[in-house]
Each structure stands twice: as structure tokens, then as C-alpha cells.
Amino acid sequence: MKKDCRRSIVVSIDRGDDSDERLLSELELLLQNLKVEVVDRVIQRRRSPDPATLIGRGKVSLLKDLCEAQEIDLIVSDIPLSPRQRGTLGSLVGREVWDRPLVIMKIFEERARTSEAKLQVELARCRYELPHLRGLGHQMSRLGGGIGTRGPGETEFEIHRRKLERRIRDIDRKLSLVERRRSELRKRRLSSGVPVVSLVGYTNSGKSTLLRRMSKDRDIHVADALFATLDTAVRSVSLSSGDVLLLVDTVGFIRDLPPSLVSAFRTTLEETIFADFLAVVLDGTDPDLMETLDVVRSTLVDIGGADIPRVILLNKIDLMDKGTVKFLESRIRGDGERVLAISGENGPLDEFEAFLTQELRLRISEGRKGR
């Protein structure tokens, strides 16, 4: 890490869940993408979070000492914090406090490139900040007055709250226009009779790489980074069989995606459920691959895409030995899924293309179901 990176301590509670370590490691990876160095962890074993500070007062005291000894300027909670917890913890430790939802939103802010993505991220941030206003400190309770306020009796909290609410309404209005345009585009795609296949999966699993390769469009943005894709990309793809389809790439999934982001990116995520078929891309080098598959399936349930026919693409097999590939294929099939092993980067895609040709022709022969 460079010296100009921010130094942080991750805090959490240990409830004896096997997923705790996985979530902490993922949070550290998220912070790494923001150029934040994780110097230490403070974990307390307890059944439930402290309602005021997440961790107990003894651990808070330890945390404060560590911050001073290790020149820490940022505390990051793996668990979503209430406004009270975030404000109290920050006040007691004397450091800025983030939580997991805020970290993910900050990554989205950095990755947003189009005006639509930027609006969606801003909407999520406004919705996140609104309940946290009261945790910003005593300054929010000062009386305000002047241009743009309703009078000298209004507090800064009330002024800021009205500004956020007004901005939320404005963004909602703009995004509703985007949603109408998306709806019109979907209607055209359906009326064209060209099959639609959506690439879905965990963030950084290789969806955009596969889209760029199959569409031969070198302008598709690809990066080895979390949430490199926040916008929907649709490209026409000609298979070796002569069949033509539309391949759709959307924002990736992640564990505990903040509800405000799910809501703000609803129109983008919904592109998934208007597909004839789903190709679920899994990173075969993921040490928690089956748990990641569970997250993807759970997200598909949440957005209404669980019943769309799909195949699992075990990706990045060029980085794996054959025995591991066979083992993972067997595990995925044993979990009730169809699976194909591929390398979206440079391996042959003949089997995947043949599978798509057969699957889509079967669906066409059965008659497309309007959605």
C-alpha cells in the first residue's frame, strides 16, 4: 500500500457464523479497491450488536487506543450501522466511521461512468444519508435561517433533510424517464424476435470479458476490479451456427448489496428478467464458489428472475487444473444446475455456443412467452 492511502481498522461482531470470515475478507477487498489499507481488525464475540456502539464499551476503548497507536484515520464496520451507532462510535473513537453499505456505495460512485449510473448512485447515497442526518453531531441541531430556508426557527437538520428529499424527488423523476426509454427498447427487442440472453453473476466474475469476446466489440469496458460494469450493455452476437442473439451484460451481484442500491439500480437489474435465457458466470477460482452461487440465486429470486432457464458457466478454467474443474462441475450439477466449463478470456466457446443454439431453438419451437 502507498503511504498516501487511508489507514483503517475493520470492526465487527462474531456470532459464530461460518460466513463471518468470508464477509470480512470481502470487505477488505472492497476497501482495497478504494485504496484503503486495513491495518487491523477488532472483533467481539457476542450474540447481538450493542445498540449504541455495535461493539461493547471495553472494545471501543481498545479501538481508540489502537487508532492512536497505529495512526488510524478510518473505522469500517462490516455490519450495517444505525445512525445512532455510527454517530456514537465516531464520537467516542474520534475517527470517521463507515459501514459496509457505505463502502459499496463509494465504489459505485468511483465506477459510475454514464449519467444514468451516476444518478442511480446519487439516489442510493441520498437515501442512505437521510436517516443518518441525526448522527452527524450537535451542529445539525443549530438553528438556521436565511435564503432558501423557512425561517429562523428551522434547524440545520431540517434544512438538509428538505434538500435531500427534494433531490431524491428530482432524481426519481429523471430515472422514471430512463425507465420509460428502457421499456420501449425492450418492446422493440421482443418484437424483433431475436432471442435475448443475459449474463449475470457475481461482480468481477468475467461477464464483460465474455461479452466483449463474443460480440467482438473491443469498446466494451473490461477491468479486473469490483463493479467495473454499472450500466447495461447489449450487443448482437452471431453464433457459429448462424443464429443471432442479443447478449446483455448488467451490474454484478455481491453479498449484502445495500437495499438503497438495489432500489436505485432496479431498472438496470430488471434487464435480467426480460431475457429468454440466463448465463450465470461463476469465477472458478473463487474459494467460496458454492456460497457465491447461493448469493446469485438468492439475488435472482429477489429481482424476479429465478424461473428463467439458465446455465452455469464455470469461468476462468485456464487458471485451474483439470481435476478441480471436474470436481466443481460435479458439485454444481449435484446442486441441480446445468453447467459448462469455459474460459471467457481465451478458451474455446464452441460448447457454449452449441448449447445456446439448441436451447434457444427449443424455446422458439415451443413459442416465446411474453413477459
Does 194-366 match 6-100 at the fold level? Answer: yes
The CATH topology of domain 194-366 is: Rossmann fold (3.40.50)
Those residues whose C-beta lies under 8 Å from the C-beta of residue 88, and which sit 6 or more positions away, are 52, 53, 135
Three-state DSSP class for 312? strand
Q: Which residue has the cell 485504496?
A: 35
175 and 190 Cβ atoms separated by less than 8 Å: no
64 and 90 Cβ atoms separated by less than 8 Å: no
To the nearest 10 degrees (0 to 180), the angle between helices 83-93 and 57-69 is 50
- Long-range contacts, 346-355 (Cβ 8 Å, 24+): 346/318, 347/317, 347/318, 349/213, 349/214, 350/240, 352/279, 352/313, 353/239, 353/240, 353/241, 354/241, 355/311
Three-state DSSP class for 311? strand
State the cell numbers at 182: 428502457
Q: How far apart are CA 234 and CA 196, in angstroms?
A: 9
Give the global pTM. Answer: 0.78
Find the angle CA(115)-CA(110)-CA(197) to the nearest 5 degrees: 65
Q: What is the DSSP letter of 50?
A: B
pLDDT in tens, the chain (371 residues): 445 689 999 999 987 766 678 888 889 988 988 999 999 999 998 888 999 999 999 999 999 999 999 999 999 999 999 989 999 999 999 999 999 989 988 988 887 877 888 888 898 889 888 887 754 544 445 444 444 544 454 677 788 888 999 999 999 999 888 878 877 776 776 666 788 999 999 888 999 999 999 999 988 877 776 676 667 788 999 998 899 999 998 888 888 777 777 777 776 677 777 888 999 999 999 988 999 999 999 989 988 889 999 999 999 999 999 999 999 999 999 999 999 999 999 989 999 999 999 988 877 666 554 44
Name the E strands within 15-145. 36-45, 74-77, 96-99
Q: What is the DSSP letter of 218?
A: T
Question: Domain spanning 6-100 has what CATH number?
Answer: 3.40.50.11060
Q: How far apart are CA 133 and CA 79, in angstroms?
A: 19
Condensed to tens digits (0 to 9), the pLDDT of residues 237-274 reads 999 889 999 999 888 888 877 777 777 777 667 777 78
Domain positions in the chain are 6-100, 112-172, 194-366
120 and 258 Cβ atoms separated by less than 8 Å: no
